A and B are shown apart, each in its own frame.
Chain A
């Protein structure tokens, strides 16, 4: 009888432990840029779970996830690197690793976290468990477009010198390949989901530059070299962003710089396949995960609007105004819904991507980047 009771108590304990466990596959974090906090959100419930505070200056912040979707590494503008445990719902480690940073990446095996810095210019690589410094790679330039590539590699580009470096972290010390002549003032870069093509957008000249990372010694490939020639550039009040999700079908969709349009480029041939005129200077041109639609937001002062482009016809099929200062969009992993941060409305809006119906509004303090945990399993995100 005693053992029966003990058995019953034990099974109760097991049940309690299970009830406390948290599934993280449909969770996400939203950056609250002005208050140094992040919102933990539940994508299926379309609701906030909790707010986590104390992350420093989060203007232009981004984050990556550990492969088990438990930890987020948040890269703050103040050089802060904060490790957030989304199961325990708290900060578990935080360092100030530089004076002024811009973004980060996590290696394919989840062991290394890299941060790109403006000041001092370069990349620093940290142990994902302890946040101890593993490698310091000064570049002498503001460093942008940092992504992870297969084989424990990080790829990044220099705003001032127009070089791209590939750092192979698979050995004891980083092995670095330097590629010169990527173009004038690269402002951001993306890597395709298969880890093969790295594309930098250029601010200082028209066009973009690609690298084939499957090549042992990648050479700069000019994409759209004559683009925009003879047309006066319009002022750019916010730099566009390039993200790995901009692959729609066989084509990249890229924001033009100083021209109010998005550009379509064949992913294999790297030649232009079309242009779609847009409402303003595009900031993000993001393909829905199935590639059928591209959602575009715009720079100040036209940043209250979103346009949706059909990737087959390359025509705008929907335009609407979520509210003042639309900063970011994140699709659910299968693309049925999109979350949109509207900074000056202090809201995140959730829309059905098929009917365009608004499904929910969530309160958030000056929201910017939205990051769902499914990014953990994508190269370049």
Chain B
């Protein structure tokens, strides 16, 4: 992530009203979406880093599982790319898997799903 444009975090003051905070979050999300589209091709290293470090905070740096389940290809083989991308975008209600739609585009989710299913192709 070091060499790529990183999403600029909104500075939301603790004193901001809920509307101001909402607006700041919306602006931030728009920025993230732009980032994801603009840089996707050259950002595969950054996306791999996201998968291993940030998905990895629950699923483990090597994706073999932690508080969240094992995400290695042999464990996920019953998933299609679309289905897995949908889980990434919308999360699994009632579990600790959050919806990533606020932070990434569906293209990025598809990329991540393909990477999880067939890491060697990325």
Contacts and interface: CB of A to CB of B under 8 A. Distances in A.
Contact of B56 (A59, A100, A159): A59
Contacts of B2: 324, 344-346
A10 to B, nearest CB: 53
B64 interface: yes
Given A187-B67, A235-B102, A236-B96, A315 B14 contact: yes
Nearest to A118: B66
Interface in B66-91: 66-67, 91
Interface string B5-35: 0110111111100000000000010001000
Interface in B89-106: 91, 96, 98-100, 102-103
Contacts of A280: 9
B67 A118 contact: yes
A153 interface: no
B67 A59 contact: no
B66 A60 contact: yes
B91 A235 contact: yes
B1 interface: yes
Nearest to B1: A344
A33 B53 CA distance: 10
B7 A238 contact: no
B67 A343 contact: no
A279 B66 contact: no
Interface string A253-292: 0000000000000000000000011111000000000000
Contacts of B54: 237-238, 300
B14 A102 contact: no
Contacts of A52: none
Interface residues of B, number: 33
Interface stretch (A43-51, A128-136, A209-217, A301-309): A301-309
Contacts of A159: 67
A77 interface: yes
A235 B53 contact: no
A119 B6 CA distance: 35
A57 B61 contact: yes
Interface string B32-66: 10000000000000000100011011101110111
B112 to A, nearest CB: 14
Given A279-B12, A300-B54, A325-B1, A77 B61 contact: yes
B11 to A, nearest CB: 8
Contact of B96 (A57, A239, A315): A239
Contacts of A366: 53
Contact of A59 (B11, B62, B91): B62
3 closest cross-chain pairs (CB), A and B? A59-B61, A235-B98, A277-B14
Interface of B: 1-2, 6-7, 9-15, 28, 32, 49, 53-54, 56-58, 60-62, 64-67, 91, 96, 98-100, 102-103
Given A280-B9, A324-B2, 6 more contacts: A100-B60, A235-B98, A238-B54, A304-B9, A315-B14, A344-B1
30 contacts: A59-B60, A60-B57, A60-B60, A60-B66, A78-B62, A100-B60, A100-B65, A100-B66, A119-B65, A185-B96, A187-B96, A235-B99, A235-B100, A236-B96, A236-B98, A237-B57, A238-B58, A239-B58, A239-B96, A277-B14, A279-B11, A279-B12, A280-B9, A300-B54, A300-B57, A301-B32, A305-B9, A319-B11, A343-B53, A344-B2
